[in-house]
Structure formats: structure tokens, C-alpha cells
Amino acid sequence: MGNTVYNLLLVIYLLTKILGGFSIPFLFTKLVARKTQQIIYKNVVNNSKKKLTKIK
């Protein structure tokens, strides 16, 4: 988890340098939302697979 946070901060820093005055809070929110969505989707898929194997 710490490595992911570090990577996000590094990306935000680099994008700040590239984009100049772009809205950083918006960018950070978008990155965190995407990561959270991926985690939720992964958990839903894994739970569905477990339930399907129990049914078989």
C-alpha cells in the first residue's frame, strides 16, 4: 500500500511539472477513484468466482 501511495504522489508531482497550473485535487481524486474502482471490481469478481465454484 505504501508503494502505491508513493507512486501516486510521484505521478502527481510529475504531472504538476508538466501541466503547470492544472487542478491537482481533481487529478488526485480521479487517480484514487480509479484505483478504488479497480480494487472493488477485483473483489467482486473474486467473490463471484468463489460462489460459482461452490455451486459446481
**What are the DSSP calls for 1-56, one per residue?**
-HHHHHHHHHHHHHHHHHHSS--HHHHHHHHHHHHHHHHHHHHHHHHHHHHHHHH-
Express each pLDDT in 12-46 by its tens digit. Answer: 788 777 766 666 677 778 888 888 888 888 888 88
What is the pLDDT at residue 2? Answer: 64
Predicted TM-score (pTM) of the model is 0.40
- The count of domains in the chain is 1
Q: Domain range for residue 10?
A: 2-55
